Chain A
Amino acid sequence: MVTQRAVPVGGPPSLDSFVKSITKIEASQVPGMVDHLISLLKRRQIRGSRNTAVATANLLMRVVSATKWSHVDAIISKIREIGRRLTRAQPRELAVGNIVRRVLGLIREEVENDSPPPSASLPAGTTLSLQSAHSTQGGVPAAPLGQPSTSMFSLLSQNPTPQKDKSSHSSKNIKAGIMEGIREILDELSTADDLIAASALEHIHSNEIILTMGYSVTVQRFLLRAAQKRSFTVIIAEGYPNDQDKVHQVLSGDPDSPGNSQIAEDSHLTFQQTLTRAGLIVILIPDSAVYAMMSRVNKVILGTHAVTANGGLVAAAGAAVISKAAKEHRTPVVVVAGAYKLSPVHPFDVEGISEHGDPGKAVRWEDADMVESCDVVNTLFDYVPPNMVDLYITNLGGHAPSYLYRIVADHYRPEDVSLDG
């Protein structure tokens, strides 16, 4: 038997090695794998919304398949517990929690689908409670009390906890259903960017000047798709100090420049497809020039790290300045993000939302005098309040920020919003 490693010799482990190894483990190794992902998250070895989401979905799929349960509550509480630990490991990667909640929602839905239609008698309010305030009508059996499916009415519905009858469901069917659902989530993760890009032509017109910032695969694909039919100008703010290297590489299309492997890994971009080769006029500017350029810009297109429940953005540092400048010039700001980035979490602590990255990217650590005389802070994310964004484009279509709560609500069960307790 060829032995294989979780951590490649010489490290560090990557998403690929994690995903590869997780499909091959025995059931008994699952807890170890959970710990492994937690430490990968803590050490920031898997980072970025998509990567963490993919890792989480893969892990949960394995957990579901490996766990034997007699009662559906058992698997729900197990997933919740894992979710709690994963989100604590990297609280700023909201995508992890999103996937966990999606999976929880899947399980609940499977259970509801699987359970026999509830009797018409009043006390059968149990399924009602499982139904979210926002659940869609399709596929859900009619609740006994008509459709009082609002959270307000949960006040008057029956006790939401008892689910005693769940154990009778064939966990085998449910399990297959859940696995299928997680596979769909994984599909969604890999196709989200394409679906978003599909609407590019509706939003980018010929001869427009588009401003974007830093390096985002989603934005990249969006622009490339538009470039197939239209010719326009792209202004890219380089995103110093965290993104500029990637931006330069993508623009120069040099696959040999250091760090390209990382790009290749998380983008599957072929370098022939870069913006410049797609026939666009590309202007690279330092971040400080954003305001100066804004008066010429027709549209700002931003990628984002996460979207909070209120429609705010957690995006790469610099996004707030750009959206502010855009607001000043009445330039529309369009945000492209896969739906998996939409989080039901409210930005309680705007300051705590951002992580402090490696200061060494701004000032070299060997600069003894600087290190000694001042603190260097490299903030990774900005919070952009919802009123600064004009349009969100997700794989589900375009949405106004004020409508975003609905998309969020459609994706998550209210009982799963908080993973604590």
Chain B
Amino acid sequence: MSEVKKASEGGQPQFDILKHYTNLLLTDSEITMPVAAIESLVALVDACQATTVSEFISIIEGGSDTLKSSVSNAISLSAGCDLFMRYIIQTLGNVGDIASCRDYLRNNGRLFVQRAKDARRRIALLGVNFVRDGMTVLLHAFSRVVIALLLEAAERGVRFKAIVTESRPSGLGKRAARVLRDKGIPVSVVSDSATGYAMGKCDLVLVGAEGVVENGGIINALGTFQLAILARSAKKPFYVVAESHKFVRLFPLSQYDLPFDQDIITYFTDDEEAARVEKEKEEKKLKNIPEALARNDGGIGGDNLNRAWGERPLVDFTGPEFITALITENGVLTPGAVSEELIRIWH
């Protein structure tokens, strides 16, 4: 991992933020990237010896950039980083002196992280009302918060069924199915091409989000967009379940406005060439998972491993017009309300 080396060579000899971040992801399969990022930055603040404001900020920014650059798709990670940066700047603006600011952050760092983690639980408690007895829920990919919500519903004796799309190329749908089936929930896994076919059988679509953007739309695993379009044409409610630390400072207008490149559409004239590239991709993916870490994981943390090592699932953008509402720990918000909230923070 070239980025890892770069980071350790760079600015922070005492504290390797990337290592801290990676460890967090690997040791706790339930943690999400933005929370891990905030936690790492808090640790960085803790370790930071800077004496001037500008030095302090540049160290934090550096750490943040390191984290962002470590992954190919830094949507949700950057949400955490940006939020934290914004917060630090505001704190500094109010307090004006680094020492007390650092004390404050040090004192409250754990609390921030805990609150972020609690958000999932709060969402589950709030969103469980959406799942009613006898319903069929359509899911896409694997979202911890969606799963938490559904497990809460199952816990309360709501008798629902779930249809999960396979969500290729990541194939995370199967993982979601495994977790749900584990709790006795009947789950059907359908291929992504069967989404339109399955739509008529469901009452509700629930998806997570990598990031919630400023216009109230979401960035989520590839296939979410088509799901949203289908849901809309079938007049099924399409709900996004996301913690508010996933709100990111982006304003995409289309699929191709995302701040990174995704290797999704590639043209070939030569069939063999195409096959070769395909094969290389596979190999690269396998190579990316160090053997040493593979034992750590019974499959459940596979996604974390991918994330830790920079492999991100492909994503697409779903506009606010397709979203019925977003279920966050602060309540059920319309895309418009989310948009306003985001704009308020950064402008």
Q: Give every chain B residue within 8 A of A153 (Cβ-Cβ).
A: 87, 345
A158 close to B247 (CB less than 8 A): no
Closest CB-CB distance, A279 to chain B, in whole Å? 41
B132 close to A349 (CB less than 8 A): yes
A409 close to B245 (CB less than 8 A): no
| B111-119, B172-180, B257-265, B300-308 - the one binding chain A | B111-119
The residue on B at minimum CB distance from A311 is B334
Contact with B along A86-98 (1 / 0, CB 8 A): 0000000000000
Contact with B along A168-184 (1 / 0, CB 8 A): 00000000000000000
Partner of B83, one of A151, A152, A310, A349: A152
A155 to B120, CA, bound (A): 12
Q: Give every chain A residue within 8 A of B104 (Cβ-Cβ).
A: 122-123
Closest CB-CB distance, A354 to chain B, in whole Å? 14
A50 to B131, CA, bound (A): 31
A349 to B128, CA, bound (A): 11
A145 close to B83 (CB less than 8 A): no
Partner of B341, one of A123, A152, A348, A403: A152
A150 close to B345 (CB less than 8 A): yes
A156 close to B129 (CB less than 8 A): no
- Contacting A at CB under 8 A, from B110-143, are 111-112, 115-116, 119, 126, 129-130, 132
Q: Give every chain B residue within 8 A of A402 (Cβ-Cβ).
A: 334, 336
A349 to B93, CA, bound (A): 45
A310 to B332, CA, bound (A): 8
- Contacting A at CB under 8 A, from B68-107, are 83-84, 87, 90-91, 93-95, 100-101, 104, 107
B195 within 8 A of A: no
- Contacting B at CB under 8 A, from A371-421, are 402-403, 405-406, 409, 414, 417-418
The residue on B at minimum CB distance from A350 is B237
B52 within 8 A of A: no
Contact with B along A54-68 (1 / 0, CB 8 A): 000000000000000
Q: Give every chain A residue within 8 A of B93 (Cβ-Cβ).
A: 146
B244 within 8 A of A: yes
A158 to B104, CA, bound (A): 10
Contact with B along A123-162 (1 / 0, CB 8 A): 1000000000100000000001110101111111011000
Q: Which of B94, B107, B337, B340 has the most C-beta atoms of chain A within 10 angstroms of its own C-beta?
A: B337
A146 close to B341 (CB less than 8 A): no
A145 close to B94 (CB less than 8 A): yes
Closest CB-CB distance, A60 to chain B, in whole Å? 23
A145 to B245, CA, bound (A): 19
B108 within 8 A of A: yes
B331 within 8 A of A: yes
A159 to B93, CA, bound (A): 20
B344 within 8 A of A: yes
Q: Give every chain A residue within 8 A of B44 (Cβ-Cβ).
A: none
B341 close to A310 (CB less than 8 A): no
A309 close to B340 (CB less than 8 A): no
Given known A-B contacts A151-B330, A310-B325, A417-B331, A122 and B336 have beta carbons under 8 A apart: no
B245 close to A346 (CB less than 8 A): no
Given known A-B contacts A122-B94, A144-B94, A155 and B244 have beta carbons under 8 A apart: yes
Closest CB-CB distance, A125 to chain B, in whole Å? 8
A303 within 8 A of B: no
Q: Give every chain B residue within 8 A of A309 (Cβ-Cβ).
A: 331-332
The residue on B at minimum CB distance from A152 is B244
A351 to B51, CA, bound (A): 61
Q: Which of A144, A155, A402 has the most C-beta atoms of chain B within 10 angstroms of its own C-beta?
A: A155
- Contacting B at CB under 8 A, from A321-359, are 344, 346, 348-349, 351
The residue on B at minimum CB distance from A125 is B108
Closest CB-CB distance, B316 to chain A, in whole Å? 24
Q: Give every chain B residue within 8 A of A409 (Cβ-Cβ).
A: 337
Partner of B345, one of A152, A346, A351: A152
- Contacting B at CB under 8 A, from A226-264, are none
B341 close to A349 (CB less than 8 A): no
Partner of B119, one of A155, A158, A349, A417: A155
Closest CB-CB distance, B193 to chain A, in whole Å? 30
Given known A-B contacts A155-B116, A156-B83, A405 and B336 have beta carbons under 8 A apart: yes
Q: Give every chain A residue within 8 A of B345 (Cβ-Cβ).
A: 148, 150, 152-153
A148 to B129, CA, bound (A): 30
The residue on A at minimum CB distance from B132 is A349
Q: Give every chain B residue within 8 A of A351 (Cβ-Cβ).
A: 132
The residue on A at minimum CB distance from B126 is A418
B83 close to A122 (CB less than 8 A): no
The residue on A at minimum CB distance from B133 is A349
B332 close to A346 (CB less than 8 A): yes
The residue on A at minimum CB distance from B344 is A150
A406 close to B340 (CB less than 8 A): yes
Contact with A along B320-345 (1 / 0, CB 8 A): 00001100101111101100111011
Given known A-B contacts A122-B95, A405-B336, A156 and B112 have beta carbons under 8 A apart: yes
The residue on B at minimum CB distance from A160 is B115
B115 close to A155 (CB less than 8 A): yes
The residue on A at minimum CB distance from B243 is A155
Closest CB-CB distance, A385 to chain B, in whole Å? 9
B341 close to A150 (CB less than 8 A): yes
The residue on A at minimum CB distance from B93 is A146
Q: Give every chain A residue within 8 A of B126 (Cβ-Cβ).
A: 418
Q: Give every chain A residue within 8 A of B111 (Cβ-Cβ).
A: 158-159
* Selected A-B contacts with CB under 8 Å, 18 pairs: A122-B94, A145-B91, A150-B344, A151-B328, A154-B115, A154-B330, A156-B108, A156-B112, A159-B111, A310-B332, A311-B334, A346-B129, A348-B129, A348-B132, A406-B340, A414-B330, A414-B331, A418-B126
Question: 5 more A-B contacts (CB under 8 A) besides A152-B330, A348-B130?
Answer: A122-B101, A153-B345, A159-B111, A309-B331, A310-B332
Per CB-CB distance, the 4 closest pairs between chain A and chain B, nearest first, are A151-B330, A348-B129, A346-B332, A122-B104
